[in-house]
Structure 1
Amino acid sequence: MAVMAVMAPGTLPAQGRAADYQRSDSLNKRFQGLAVGMTETPRWVSDTRFWYRVSAPGGFRFVLADAAARRTAPLFDHARVAAALSHDTVTFTPVTLPFSVVTLEGDSAFTVVVERMLWRCALPDTRCIKVGPAPLPEGGPRGGARAPDVHDSLPDEGPSPEEQEAREEVSRLFQPPVRGQQDTPRKSPDGALEATVRQFNVYTRRVTGPDTAWQPLSYDGRESSPYSAASIRWSPDSRKLVAWRVTPGDRRMVKYVLSSPADQLQPRDTARFYEKPGDARDLREPVLFDLASRRAILIAQTHFPTPYSISQPAWRNDSRAISFEYNERGHQRYRIIEADAESGETRVVLEEQASTFIYYNTTNDGLSSGKRYRFDIGDGAEVLWMSERDGWNHLYLMDGATGAVKQQITKGAWVVRHVQRVDTVSRQIWFSGNGRNSGEDPYLLHYYRVNFDGSGLVDLTPAIGNHAVTWSNDFAYFVDQYSQVNTAPITELRRADGTLVMPLEQADLSALVRAGWRAPEVFVAKARDGVTDIWGVMFRPTNFDPRKRYPVIENIYAGPQGSFVPKSFSVMNGMRSLAELGFIVVQMDGMGTSNRSKAFHDVAHKNLADAGFPDRIRWHQAAAARFPWYDASRVGIYGTSAGGQNVMGGMLFHPAFYKAAFSAAGCHDNRIDKMWWNEQWMGWPIGPQYAASSNTEHAAKLQGKLLLVVGEYDTNVDPASTLQVVNALIKANKTFDLLVIPNADHTSGGPYGDRKRNDFFVHHLMGLEPPDRNRAADQARK
């Protein structure tokens, strides 16, 4: 292919030759270990003491910090540990110790695992002895048919805690019964009784006394609608209990063939339970039981008629009622419901409604993009609640009796991200948020404290940067680690009120910069509305020449569950290696992603095909207008999973802009993908909006160059999603490339996939032939 065929007139080729591949492949080795003073997540071992590992010239060192004494010291004698662990074939140095995790045994000793052996080192003299084989991880070794050969770090599309709990319950309910096996009984709070499920029904018995025989409490459980032992919850006064009766929905199984299992010659087939949009869900009906009368108290279902999910019931402290959360199918109504323990009558404690979607998902990692949080105060008299009802995600104090807003605690054009702590005595809340601090990237995470009445809002982490906080056990102190993509990390110890106790580390990047490392550039442009800022980053090669014109490659993941442009410092990034071949590699968060306003997020509603492309294309055009070396006439795009769907959608719906696409593990039709993720954004019941966003339905629109990748054992996105879009492309007589990875799970192909991606873009955006590795291997053998 001629170079000029893919370049604008007068454009000079940038790179993409063998030397560029060699430089790209060596970047990690070239930069490794040159950034010193970079701390890993600290581990608190008491209310005032913690340890951390920090990069040092040539390796790492371990540091013990004492907040009360305001001092740091080596965690142990590094030289003695290195000498103790070295042996005939390997010599360790004080900064190349072969472990990253230390388990302290008070002040007397610590243990480490090296080469699957457990070592114990006494303190303070650091005498180390080999104890024996290291204990297996909790749960023991993994078994089963799953043995993928390729693993990638992908944006999190994992289930919420509620979803995971429900999945585990489904798995338990529908496993073949084991003869004689019973669920572990659950004891009443007073210890007199215990309950379990036998023969599909709830049974109870006395723990001690002359009669400890199991007696049925329910009689309506059937094989087709059994009670769930895992759902049993006793009232605090031990007089009642509640349990789910479960009517199963569709039992869809996705089937797989592992063509090349590692342990046998013949292929192996397997199947996994997999709910898809529109499938009937398991119906979990809470049922109350009175132990004295041994009767069921029917709970009126008026307020939860069409559940997507119902949370595990929780008892009020005085045993007067249970409460649970109801997420309506379609994700447009979310309620806290209370059921009276005597009558079974229900009332709505509070409710959220949305004309688009309520993003109910939440996690406890401090970085959740989910918009649902609940904390009951005074046995439900008040509720601390998270809501987007004013257009931004904020905290509210609600009246538990009326459901009315007592106080909007936080407000403004910014976002509450996650609550770390609630103190009901001082009536204060500690939480993280973004977008409040003017004059900086609105995605940068900060940590705050506020009073229940909305007063006293304090930024505990005022320095500009993306902050990660690790609290002490008693929440009296926290370690603050912060940076930006283009600024060196700083680590500090602070008190709970935000005052500085002492600086801990500040990274030194001077050696890294001398080696040619170049910080990514933050770039901001206006969205489709001409008002909203779209934030992104650019990676340039280390031998960047502003006189040349560089093709551009966009790394896309437009999943509405979060925002994805990196905000913290890192030495290496996959985009950096790709840029080294002679590209400008960029990433931005367009409308439809999370962590901005509700309106910004709602662009994704029933329209995943949008993927923020009108904003992305404007961002590219603004960059090209500002930088003469930015060639917006040669733009490629790559992504995995939801990003794989976005990639191909860019080619189909914006063919005049994107010229080449690498699409891995894509959910190309949202009807084929998992239920929980797709119904959250695309709605329920299934309607024409699904076909409108489908790459499969629109495959005939393909104009540019396309490479599809799929793992044959993808347990996240059904591989049929890729194969169906392949089928549609074939029917439309389109030219494209396909890479199937044997045995692989959800993947972009690992190192081999990266090489195929790089070669694909070098060929189609630069017009150069990549190195012939087959020939090179043949010459090496000679």
Structure 2
Amino acid sequence: MKSPFHCPFLPLAFLVWSSADAHAAEHEPYRVDAVPAEAYDRAVALTTVAVQGTVKNPSVTPRWLPGGEAFWYRRDAGDGTEYVLVDADTGSQRPAFDHEALAKALSTLDGQARAANALAIDAMHFDEALSSVDLKAGELAARCDLRAATCETLPAWRFDPFQLPSPDGTRAVFARDDNLWVRSLSDGEERQLTVDGEQDFSYGTAPGVVPGKLNMIRSGIDGPLFWVTWSPDSTRVAVPRIDERRVRQYLFTEALPADGANAPRSVAKRIALIGDRDSTRFDWFVVDVASGTVRQLDLPPDCHGQYLGYGHDTFWSPDSRRGLIACFSQRADRLSLLVFDAQTGETRPVFEDASETFLDLNHAFYGSTGANIRFVANDGVIVFSERDGWGHLYLVDMAGGDAPRQLTRGPWLVHDLLFADEAEGWFYYTAGGREEGRHPYFAHLYRTSLQGERTELLTPEDAHHRVIPASFFLGGTNTNFSPDRRYFVDNHSRVDRPNRAALRRNDGTLVAILEEADASALYAQGYVPPEPFTVKAADGETEVYGVLYHPKHREPGIKYPVVEQIYGGPQTTVAPVRFEQAAAIDRVGGQGNLAGMTEFGLAVVVM
């Protein structure tokens, strides 16, 4: 059977909810025309835009220093922000630098006044001695001597948000004019790696189906690289060439163009719709960065990404000699996992899967780490499959002919495979539904021995745990683990309890509580968390989980309309399990401004 996350589309429901006994003889209908004008102001105050900043320290994203013994993060403090350095072994905290001195040094550099509690630093890279830092604050890139309290300007490319740095930090690749380029991160020298890219047939740029593509077109930028990966030894990159030349153009009309033009304007991007004969195609190449050699991978013609119009996930072996690429059929009902030779481009299948419906390599598309595929040493691979009816992990021996060995099993679902630690003999992943009596959609972090014989729960609190950075779309992101994988930051919350950020060791033992989110300003703005509930489905057996936002200012004996919020999955679920989701601070997929509807006397249900 499919996992419970793969449910059919739910119809939009507009039901009736009563604030009194359901069997009362008479109920007055709710009058929409009786909504007072001030209710609209209260509803606006609960929209996503309005609630930003109303929760202090909603989560902690660690920025690890080389070696993994310390990290820094940005903290909301008083009426501003500060930057904190944390010792991972003890949990002790101290200011990352003298905020007053750095504010003065930056102001001296560019002539703009800065307050110590409003530095607005977007990125920082410390030296090993923590005596110098490269940083970006708004449009300013600077290198600052923290002992002398002086700064000098750095070139803007040092913090180019669209470049992809190599693992060793010496260079970065980026897109320009539909081709792939490389830049030295020591002196900024640039070199073109591919030469035959063209419009709608480019290297590593976003296809039309990617959110944000319209803004890239409007801005005239190639944007960030998509699906491009560096080899661990920083010598090669795997890059797709994205062919949209035969894909239909999809027109969007700007009634009020952002540049202030007084006439509507049409903007086109290419998107294949269901039933179209021509869809986006991906050819794959391995580029040797030093020599400039470009080698095409030998892929079968029916090799698609998991989702229509999206690319493939690729994974490199630790020795950088080989990689993995996942090929789906166009209907996503067949999967062939191929290993490629980085030197020759030759490929061969190492794992096959099939389904009567569709296949997944992760239970969700939004807010996940992408395909659950990870190398174990150089000849083994852990891969996700639903072949036993639940989403679990299997070990594939690429050197021999043994059948895949199941590593996890039971009536529960693996979410994100994070990594395998061969030296310690564990692999780490998140999963839901394994803990008796808990919400099955809550994610917990686990580790299981590579023999599959022992599993340990690492995040014991009865809440939803996140050990990956929050984002709309993550495919293949890093985790909150330290580079040496000895520590991790665990953000956990429930819809009715704000986030708590904990620092833990890799065996789950608690080092320190870093932050407890403060939602007092959000509550003062009128926010009331929803009520979690469970009901039986039509079969009388299946438990359905959801939340109910109660109508505000309800009166006994009055019937209130019920709106059911839906989203046409199955690549995500929209019933919130985290505080930030429920409050619309962090929206994923089809989650909307639900709390504000309650100001109009509406009950809102999400399942």
TM > 0.5 fold call: yes
Distance 1:583-1:51 versus aligned 2 partners, 3 A rule:
same
Q: Shift of residue 557 of structure 1?
A: 1.1
Asked if residue 108 in structure 1 is aligned to residue 118 in structure 2, the reply is no
Deviation sequence 1:224-281 (CA, Å, 0-9, x none):
xxxxxx99x99x9x9xxx9999998834333455565436556555543332333235
Q: Paired residue for 2:351? A: 350
Q: Paired residue for 2:499? A: 489
More displaced 10-residue stretch of structure 1: 12-21 or 562-571? 12-21
Q: Shift of residue 111 of structure 1?
A: 5.7
- Amino acid in structure 1 at the alignment position of 2:350: V
Q: Shift of residue 516 of structure 1?
A: 5.2
Q: Shift of residue 450 of structure 1?
A: 0.8
Higher strand proportion, which one?
2
Asked if residue 43 in structure 1 is aligned to residue 67 in structure 2, the reply is no
Q: Paired residue for 1:99? A: 120
Distance 1:73-1:320 versus aligned 2 partners, 3 A rule:
closer
Q: Paired residue for 1:18? A: 37
Deviation sequence 1:606-646 (CA, Å, 0-9, x none):
xxxxxxxxxxxxxxxxxxxxxxxxxxxxxxxxxxxxxxxxx
The correspondence of residues 142-161 of structure 1 with structure 2, limited to 5 A, is none
Distance 1:464-1:560 versus aligned 2 partners, 3 A rule:
same
Pick from 86, 94, 102 the counterpart of residue 65 of structure 1.
86
Q: Paired residue for 1:123? A: 146
Q: Paired residue for 2:446? A: 448
Distance 1:387-1:271 versus aligned 2 partners, 3 A rule:
same
Deviation sequence 1:155-186 (CA, Å, 0-9, x none):
xxxxxxxxxxxxx999669xxxxxxxxx9458
- Amino acid in structure 1 at the alignment position of 2:445: Y
Q: Paired residue for 2:529? A: 519
Q: Paired residue for 1:433? A: 431
Asked if residue 528 in structure 1 is aligned to residue 538 in structure 2, the reply is yes
Q: Shift of residue 92 of structure 1?
A: 7.1
2:451 match: secondary structure: coil
Q: Paired residue for 2:603? A: 584
1:579 match: secondary structure: helix
Kept in 1: contact 2:239–2:285 (CA 8 A): yes
State the identity as a percent: 30
When Rg is computed on C-alpha atoms for both structures, the one with the higher figure is 1
Kept in 1: contact 2:54–2:521 (CA 8 A): yes
Q: Shift of residue 510 of structure 1?
A: 5.8
The correspondence of residues 300-699 of structure 1 with structure 2, limited to 5 A, is 304=300, 306-308=302-304, 325-337=326-338, 348-360=349-361, 367-368=368-369, 372-377=371-376, 379-380=378-379, 382-400=380-398, 404-469=402-467, 470-509=480-519, 517-540=527-550, 543-545=553-555, 548-570=558-580, 572-573=583-584, 574-588=593-607
How many angstroms apart in 2 are the aligned matches of 1:550 and 1:389?
45
1:359 match: secondary structure: coil
Matched pairs, number = 489
Kept in 2: contact 1:109–1:120 (CA 8 A): yes
Q: Shift of residue 362 of structure 1?
A: 8.9
How many angstroms apart in 2 are the aligned matches of 1:136 and 1:497?
37
Pick from 76, 96, 99 the counterpart of residue 75 of structure 1.
96
- Amino acid in structure 1 at the alignment position of 2:272: E
Kept in 2: contact 1:253–1:271 (CA 8 A): yes
Deviation sequence 1:707-758 (CA, Å, 0-9, x none):
xxxxxxxxxxxxxxxxxxxxxxxxxxxxxxxxxxxxxxxxxxxxxxxxxxxx
Higher relative contact order structure (alpha carbons within 8 Å, sequence separation ≥ 6): 2
Q: Shift of residue 314 of structure 1?
A: 8.9
How many angstroms apart in 2 are the aligned matches of 1:246 and 1:509?
44
Distance 1:271-1:172 versus aligned 2 partners, 3 A rule:
farther
In structure 2, stretches of 5+ residues that fail to align are 1-16, 19-25, 164-174, 181-190, 198-226, 287-295, 306-310, 468-479, 585-592
How many angstroms apart in 2 are the aligned matches of 1:526 and 1:457?
31
How many angstroms apart in 1 are the aligned matches of 2:30 and 2:324?
67
How many angstroms apart in 2 are the aligned matches of 1:135 and 1:336?
37
Kept in 1: contact 2:562–2:604 (CA 8 A): yes
Kept in 2: contact 1:13–1:548 (CA 8 A): no
RMSD: 5.2
How many angstroms apart in 2 are the aligned matches of 1:340 and 1:478?
33
Distance 1:526-1:197 versus aligned 2 partners, 3 A rule:
same
How many angstroms apart in 2 are the aligned matches of 1:9 and 1:39?
44
- Amino acid in structure 2 at the alignment position of 1:138: D
TM-score between the two structures when normalised by the length of structure 1: 0.52
Kept in 2: contact 1:325–1:335 (CA 8 A): yes
- Amino acid in structure 1 at the alignment position of 2:329: E
Kept in 1: contact 2:438–2:462 (CA 8 A): yes
Q: Shift of residue 101 of structure 1?
A: 3.1
- Amino acid in structure 1 at the alignment position of 2:131: S
1:578 match: secondary structure: helix
1:101 match: secondary structure: strand
Kept in 1: contact 2:550–2:603 (CA 8 A): yes
Q: Shift of residue 42 of structure 1?
A: 2.3
Distance 1:545-1:338 versus aligned 2 partners, 3 A rule:
same
More displaced 10-residue stretch of structure 1: 478-487 or 113-122? 113-122
Q: Shift of residue 478 of structure 1?
A: 0.7
Q: Shift of residue 451 of structure 1?
A: 1.0
In structure 1, stretches of 5+ residues that fail to align are 1-5, 142-167, 174-182, 187-195, 199-229, 289-297, 589-782
How many angstroms apart in 2 are the aligned matches of 1:525 and 1:172?
53
